[in-house]
Every structure is written in structure tokens, then in C-alpha cells.
Amino acid sequence: MEKSIKELIQKEIEAIGNIPVDFSFELAVNKIRNKVHSLGQYGKVVMSGMGKAGQIALNISTTLCSTGTPSVYLHPSEAQHGDLGILQEDDVLILLSNSGKTREILELIELSKNMYPRISIICITGKKESPLANASDIVLHTGDANEICPLGLTPTVSTTLMTVIGDILVVELMKKIKFSKKEYSKRHHSGYLGQRSKEEKYPKGSLLDELPPSDYQMGN
């Protein structure tokens, strides 16, 4: 089994190395910065995906939030039952679908454009020639590597690649907006990472200063 595990790891590594790196990444980062962080702009990043891709979208959304970029996760099915109301004109919609054919995601595009015809759409997909890619302003292509599951069906490599692309967007945005440890600590007070990010202790006698270490050293 050890040999098999090493082979699986190697395939994942190779797939990451084959992600097409082009100008689309810079376009995506600048689009988000301009819509969310520019003076007079009040947009946010709205992430969405169905199934396993939805779980990755949720993770990217929460990571963006903790690193200074406001974001929410919108479930594509719940969007059709009122949750689409979270969407605003200046938002950036980032949609994840490996096939680029996920029905709920394509319907979400139609519904979103019905509300805001000029809504900005970025997609992360394995298929550059797909309905999702064709409907998006910016396409971040994963490289369409084969899944490593024995059936070739279970989302494995594809979700890894989506996660990596999400990490790239997060990190490059942090650089663009010059996100600091001080700002990080404001959003991530608790846990080990929260403690590490603090540059100064809270004022003596404040409620936060009185918390025992165990209350903020647990978790990430």
C-alpha cells in the first residue's frame, strides 16, 4: 500500500504543476480588488458550487473573509428559493464546476444576470469549452486532470486543483491589499493562529485580556 499511496500523491502533485498559469489569474485578482477594495466600491465575493465543488467554494469563501476580502457562500439550489437576494450589483460571482455543465450553476448564472445583467462572473472549471466557461467573464482552468479514484469518477484531483486555485486568489489578493498581521488578528481572534497573529496584547483589564489562554489557543 505504501507504494500505491506515494503514486497517488505524485499524481496529485503533477496535476497541480500542470495548472495552466496565464493572465486570467491577474485579471481575476484585479477584478476582485476593484469591485471589493477600491474607494467607493462595496461589493463582495459570492462563491458557489454544487456537491464537492460547493464544499471547496465554501472553504475559499471563509478563507477570503479571514484575510480581508468580504465573501459569502451561496448554495445554488437555495438561491432559487430566495437566497439569491444576498447578491448585489457590485459583487463578484465565483462559480466552481469541474464539468462546466452543472445544471444548478448554469441556472444560477441565468437568475443572477436577470437581476444584474452586468454582474461579474469568474469560474473555476476543468473544461475551457463548456457552457460555464462561455458564460463567464474570466475562466480559471484547472488543467482538466484525470481523477485518481479507481472509477475515474469521484472528485479527487479536481477538488485539489480548485482548492489550489482558491489559495492562489487568496494569497495574491492579500498582497494586493497589503493585508497585515494586525488586520488578520482582528478577524481571527481565537485559536492558535489568532494568538500568533496578535502584535500587541489587549489593554490590561479588558474583557479580552482576562480570557484564560485555553480559550484562545484551541483550534486553528
Q: How confident is the model at residue 61 (pLDDT cuts 50, 70, 90)?
A: very high
Q: What is the mean pLDDT of residues 131-137?
A: 98
- Asked if 143 and 58 sit in the same domain, the reply is yes
Do 105 and 170 lie in one domain? The reply is: yes
Looking at the fold, whether 51 and 116 belong to one and the same domain comes out as yes
Structure confidence at residue 214 (pLDDT) = 41
45, β-bridge pairs: 71, 92
Q: Give residue 100's identity as a one-letter amino acid code.
A: G
Say how far apart CA 138 and CA 121 lie, in whole Å: 7
What's the order of all strands across the beta sheet hosting 138-141?
71-73, 45-49, 92-96, 120-125, 138-141
Say whether both 187 and 170 belong to one domain: no
CA 120, CA 183: separation in Å to the nearest integer? Answer: 27
Q: How many domains does the chain have?
A: 2
**Domain encompassing residue 162:** 2-176
Residues 121, 199 within the same domain: no
Q: Does pLDDT of 212 surpass 90?
A: no
In this structure, are 95 and 142 located in the same domain? Answer: yes
The grid coordinates listed for 215 are 480559550
This prediction has a pTM of: 0.85
3-state DSSP call for residue 75? Answer: coil
| 161 and 201 together in one domain | no
Element (H, E) at 48: strand 45-49
Check: CB of residue 36 under 8 Å from CB of residue 45. yes
pLDDT over 60 at 209, yes or no: no
Q: What is the pLDDT of residues 87-127, one digit of tens each?
A: 999 999 999 999 999 999 999 999 999 999 999 999 999 99
Q: Amino acid identity, residue 156?
A: T
Phi, then psi, of 136 in degrees rounded to 5: -100, 150
Of residues 207 and 124, more confidence is placed in: 124
Which DSSP letter does residue 34 get?
A: I
Which grid cell is 60? 475559499
pLDDT of residue 79: 97
Which domain CATH number covers 15?
Answer: 3.40.50.10490
pLDDT mean over 140-168: 94
**Claim to verify: residue 127 and residue 209 sit in the same structural domain:** no
The H-assigned helical ranges of the chain are: 2-17, 23-32, 52-66, 103-115, 131-135, 157-176, 181-187, 191-197, 214-217
The reply to whether 8 and 22 lie within a common domain is: yes
pLDDT of residue 197: 54
Which one-letter DSSP state was computed for residue 204? T
- Percent of the chain scoring above 70 in pLDDT: 85
**What is the model's pLDDT at position 220?**
54
What is the average per-residue pLDDT within 199-220?
Answer: 48
Mean pLDDT score, 71-97? 97
pLDDT score, position 185: 75
How many residues does the structure list for the chain? 220
Q: pLDDT per residue over 1-38, tens digit each? A: 999 999 999 999 999 999 999 999 999 999 999 999 98
